[in-house]
Amino acid sequence: MSPVGVFDSGVGGLSVLAALRAELPHEHFVYFADTAYAPYGERGDAYVIERSRAVVEHLLREHGVKALVVACNTATTAAIHLLRADHPDLPIVGLEPGLKPAVAASRTGHVSVLATRGTLASAKYATLRASFAGSADVRPVPCDGLVKAIEGFDSAGIAALAERYMAEAGPFGDGPGEVDTVVLGCTHYPLVKDELAKHAPATLRFIDTGVPVAQQTRRLLASAGRLADATEATGAVGSLLLQSSGDVAVLEAAAARWLGLSAAATA
């Protein structure tokens, strides 16, 4: 059975992978971390497009993936329209910061978006934000360095940056002018949500898009007639293969640390 391909510039997409495996337990997955060329979020569009195309070609050539999840906000904003044009018969699911559910959930009408500088500077994000003009105050918070700290298991760096960026995202609360909802606009950030939450009241809502992406992937697979069922899976759950353009041991360690995952892996 052909697998579903999932890729990110690094380990952040593991947060999406976890949602995918929960929603689609019988599917086989190949997760590719492009760590040798990370981070995408602090690079230009041309760079991200080139790497996204290269990764997709690898997943198709080596694994014959039947669908693709671009588990990276930056790659989605820069490249997904081109990937869909390149591969019109391949179901492709991308990410965007969860502004729509955040605005719907907010009581105060004040929302902050934690994201990479690349995502926040993109035309796709500008269009998304403009669609909520007048209905909510949306505060962008570019989180330089946070992806690198997460990738490097830098606990002290994560703690310091979480404190810094949550201070920029506030003030938090349920009163006039206060932020009551924060969008985690990079797939890395849900991995450190507990650290971010240390700097906010318990009532603050965090929005990420892992579950909606998994649900959309199920819908696309079903409509394309490519959805696995229990009789097709080899065992109780589908298999997982972890791959990386860098050191695959780092990816395996991240999967174990952040999500408790273990999988066969090749470089």
pLDDT value at residue 63: 97
Closest to 38 (Cα-Cα) out of 84, 69, 75: 75
Q: Which CATH class is domain 99-207?
A: alpha beta
Q: In whole angstroms, give the CA distance from residue 175 to residue 173.
A: 6
Lowest average pLDDT, out of 56-60, 74-78, 174-178, goes to 74-78
Q: Where are the domains of the chain?
A: 4-95+210-266, 99-207
> Mean pLDDT in the chain?
92
pLDDT value at residue 75: 92
226-255 pLDDT, tens per residue?
Answer: 998 755 545 567 899 999 999 999 999 999
Closest to 87 (Cα-Cα) out of 68, 110, 109, 108: 68
CA-based R_g, the chain, Å: 18
Q: Which strand (E) or helix (H) includes residue 69?
A: strand 67-70
Active site residue 143: no
pLDDT band for position 202 (50/70/90)?
A: very high
230/264: higher pLDDT: 230
167-189 pLDDT, tens per residue?
Answer: 999 999 999 999 999 999 999 99
Strand partners, 110: 137
124-178 pLDDT, tens per residue?
Answer: 899 999 999 888 999 999 999 999 999 889 999 999 999 999 999 999 999 999 9
Query: What is the CATH topology of the domain spanning 4-95+210-266?
Result: Rossmann fold (3.40.50)
Check 6, 38, 71, 72 and give the catalytic one. Answer: 72
pTM: 0.86
Domains 4-95+210-266 and 99-207 share a fold: yes
96-113 pLDDT, tens per residue?
Answer: 889 999 999 999 999 999
Report residue 151: phi and psi, to 5°.
-60, -35
Check 19, 128, 186, 228 and give the catalytic one. Answer: 186
